[in-house]
Amino acid sequence: MLSELSYLGIFLLLIVMNASPILMPPTWIVLASFYNIDPALDQPTLVIVGATGALIGRIILMYISRFFRRFIGTERKSNLDKLAEFMKNKKYGFFSASFLFAITPLPSNLLFMAYGIMKVKNIALFAGFWIGRVIAYYIMLSISTVTLKPFLELFDDSLVGILVTDIGSLIMIVVFACINWGKLLTEKKLSFIKPKLWRF
């Protein structure tokens, strides 16, 4: 049904997929599937459409994640704000982090959920993600005739694996929010701020 809408259908699908924090397959597999099903699709155009849809979806996820900031204690809010300020003061801090997550298999949903909780506002993080996704999608589409089938078979029987990965990502978000970033950045010592629930 979506393939009949051509690029628009793919664009809308990737927005929805990337706005969801869990239970979604890698977006390059979806792009590669469309690309192999419809030879009329232009690869560079598909890459641009895919990267833009993925970015918009992640931005939506980031703003949705801001809702959960209200459940974080004052101490941890201040702690995360210190990390955000540190990255802001680094010349390519946000750009480098977003680019790294976009061009590698690292879970970018985790990154944008963390950005949302930190209430980050920086155009560089969007630019880094978009550029990284363009490069990654172009490479993956170029070799999709070889890699697509094995990956489809892998994910066809691995719903449990996807669930475990997503749960692990959510746990990482909690751990990320509990790290004492002020102490880590200034004293180079890893320590944690315990959630109130733990104190009982």
How confident is the model over 58-116, as pLDDT tens digits?
999 999 888 877 777 676 677 677 777 777 777 788 898 899 889 887 778 888 888 88
- Strand-pair partners of 179: 192
Q: How confident is residue 198, by pLDDT bands cut at 50, 70 and 90? A: very low
Residue 54 is predicted with a pLDDT of 94
Answer yes or no: are the C-beta atoms of 33 and 156 closer than 8 Å. no
Closest CA to 119 of 96, 88, 95, 92: 88
pTM above 0.85, yes or no: no
Q: What are phi and psi of 36, to 5 degrees?
A: -80, -25
Q: Quick count: other Cβ atoms within 10 Å of Cβ 133? A: 29
Residue 117 is predicted with a pLDDT of 82
Answer yes or no: are the C-beta atoms of 144 and 66 closer than 8 Å. no
Answer yes or no: are the C-beta atoms of 161 and 44 closer than 8 Å. no
Residue 199 is predicted with a pLDDT of 41
Q: How confident is residue 170, by pLDDT bands cut at 50, 70 and 90? A: low
Q: What mean pLDDT do residues 8-36 have?
A: 84
Burial of 102 (0-12, 13-18, 19+ CB in 10 A): buried
Closest CA to 48 of 144, 131, 139: 131
Distance (Å, whole) CA 52 – CA 184: 35
Distance (Å, whole) CA 8 – CA 191: 47
Into how many domains does the chain fold? 1
Distance (Å, whole) CA 130 – CA 139: 14
Residue 200 is predicted with a pLDDT of 36
Structural domain range at position 129: 2-199
Closest CA to 52 of 2, 10, 20: 10
Residue 132 has pLDDT above 80, yes or no: yes
Q: What mean pLDDT do residues 47-51 have?
A: 94
Amino acid symbol at 80:
L
Q: What mean pLDDT do residues 34-40 have?
A: 81
Residue 35 has pLDDT above 60, yes or no: yes
| Alpha helix ranges (H) inside 90-158 | 93-103, 108-118, 123-142, 144-156
